[in-house]
Each structure stands twice: as structure tokens, then as C-alpha cells.
Amino acid sequence: MTTLAVDIGGTKIAAAVCDENDAIIQRWRVPTPMDADAINDNIAKVYREAVAAGHRIEAIGVSAAGNVAADRRTMTFSANIPAWLNYDLSEHIGALIDHAVPVVVENDANCAGWGEYVHGAGQGSANMVALTVGTGLGGAIVINGQLFRGSFGMAAEIGHLPMVPDGSHCGCGLLGCAERYTSGTALENYAKSAVRRRPQDAKRLLELCGGDVNKLEGPMVSQAAQEGDELSLTAFDNIGEWLGRTMAAIAAVLDPDLFVIGGGVVAVGDILLEPARRNYALYLEGSAYREHAKIVAATAGQDAGLIGAANLALR
Ligand SMILES: [Zn+2]
């Protein structure tokens, strides 16, 4: 028995047939159309190809960027796909494949976090919080070995934890959300502003962006930081501090034993994790008189979301 896992990203749809241990046995990669119907068609097509290839698919697990209702079928909102407004994604895909198998929809950060929990750095933890530091800040919460979805499917929107009263404007409409201070976007914004203020200290970054600070991107800051560039290291200290403070706030509510940090930005390892750990300890309530959660980098890699979607589809 196998599962078809589908990860609907901003630019591509990654799909994979996974065996009963969530190991990937065949992959697909197709562009993500902006049109909801075309997305459904692409997924149905991949399903038919998988069946034609002889795979006995038991369920389809879909990882989608956006808010997923507690029914694990309905997209209540997505910043990427405007049509996903109280949109029964499961029904729309199911209708195209004669409802041959169940279609289970989960939030993308939940899938990636769950992938880490079952096959990555989260294994063996009882209470884990996964944070995906990418364009934004995604979250997943595991409590007593179970994915915690909340009452309305809205749990673990950690990127929108209000960290700074009347702070920076967030895409969600609120002010001062965590992801404004700790994410790939925050890293980029911080570095850009530092380059503009201190061009004399930004020789390496200016070199990497071809002299045009508007073209400066997160990966360039990562590269320069790994080379020891001081200004870039300061940018990581900054988002690392906010990552630590955000985790301390989470710990006040959930008291997890483990934080798993994933996403492209964590490729720099301790350059991000060291300031995060230091500030976690600084801002943690009762810090000197309690055990501290471990803070580690994710290990399941790019496929964490697919693996998580495959595993969750049968739970
Ligand atoms: Zn927000």
C-alpha cells in the first residue's frame, strides 16, 4: 500500500508516491498554476499516472500553504491562491478522480513539522515545536506525540505571534508579528537597511549583489556570514535574537522539550542557532531553575513536507 503526497508550493507542485514507511518511491514535479481548477487538474493527472504506473494508492495527502479547517479538507484562506476561500480542496480533487481514495489536506508547516517528528530531528520527543524559517515563519506543534491542530485548525501560526506592540506591518494586517523580525524576509530587510546605513562596512555584501542593494537576497547574506562577514553576522544575530525570544514566548505556553528549526535560513547552522539559544535562555521564564528545551536544526531536508503529508494522510 502506498500514499500519494502532494506539496503545493508557490512555484511548483511536488508529488511523490511513498511506501508504508513514508519512503519516496517515485516523484513528480509540475509548475503551480495560479488557477485553483488547474491545480486540481494537475494533481488528478499525477494521481492517474501513479495508478497507471502500478502503485496501489490508499490516500492522497496534500500539503498546502494557507489556513486549513479542522475538517482537514477545506482551505479557509490562502495568501497565494485567492480562490481558496472556504474552498473544499479535498472535494474538488476527489471529484476529478471519482473519489477513488480519500484526499486529506494539511497546512504546509504542519506537514513539514510532522515530517521532522516522524522521520527527522523530532524523533523521540514528547512535546515538540517545529519552526520553519523561510520567507515567513511557519510553525507546527506536537503534544504528547500528536499533531496539535487547535479547535479550528488554526494552531501553530507562530509567525503571527504578536512580539512587538505597534511594531512592523505584517502581511496578515496586524503589527509586530514574529515573522517580521525572524524569517528570511527579516534577514534580507535587516541586511539591506544595514548596507544602506553603513556602506563602508558592506563591501562583501555589495560585491555579492552587484553593487545594487535592492538586489540583495537572503542567500547572499548567508554566504557572506559563512565567510565571516561582520555585517552579515550581525543580521543573523538580530533574527537569531528574535527567534530565541519567540521560542521563549512559546515555552511559556507549551513547555516543549524540543524546538526543531527548519527552512532555508537554518542552512547556516550555529550562526543562527547560537544567538537563538542564547536569547531563548535570556528570555525564558525561570530560566535558571528549569530544564531547557533542546534547539536543533531540522534533518529531514527538502522532503519533510512530502513525508509529513504522506504520513498524516493515513492518520
Ligand atoms: Zn502577521
Residue 219 pLDDT level (bands cut at 50, 70, 90): very high
Phi, psi of 268 (to 5 degrees): -80, -5
Report CA(183)–ligand 1 centroid distance (Å).
Answer: 12
Ordered strands of the 87-88 beta sheet: 67-68, 74-77, 87-88
Cα 180 to ligand 1 centre (Å): 8
Q: Three-class SS of residue 265?
A: helix
CATH 3.40.50.300, applies to 2-113+303-313: no
Dihedral-angle region of residue 192 (phi above 0 means left; psi in -120 to 50 means alpha; beta otherwise): alpha
Residues 6+ apart with CB under 8 A from 282: 244, 248
How close is the Cα of 226 to the center of ligand 1, in Å? 30
Output phi, psi for 290, to 5 deg: -150, 165
Measured distance CA(78)–CA(238) in Å, rounded: 29
Distance from residue 161's CA to the centre of ligand 1 (Å)? 7
In tens, the pLDDT along 58-112 reads 999 999 999 999 999 999 999 889 999 999 999 999 999 999 999 999 999 999 9
The fold adopted by the segment(s) 124-299 is Nucleotidyltransferase; domain 5 (3.30.420)
Distance 291 CA to ligand 1 centre (A): 30
43, three cell numbers: 494533481
* Better pLDDT: 137 or 9: 137
Quote the ligand 1 centre to 160 CA distance (angstroms): 4
Distance of CA 303 from the midpoint of ligand 1 (Å): 26
CA 255 – ligand 1 centroid, Å: 23
Give the start-to-end residue ranges of the domains of the chain: 2-113+303-313, 124-299
Residue 72 has φ and ψ, to the nearest 5°, of 60, 35
Q: In what order do the strands lie in the sheet with 12-18?
A: 24-31, 12-18, 2-8, 57-64, 103-107
pLDDT of amino acid 56:
97
C-alpha grid cell, residue 152: 479550528
**How many angstroms separate the alpha carbon of residue 236 from the centre of ligand 1?**
21
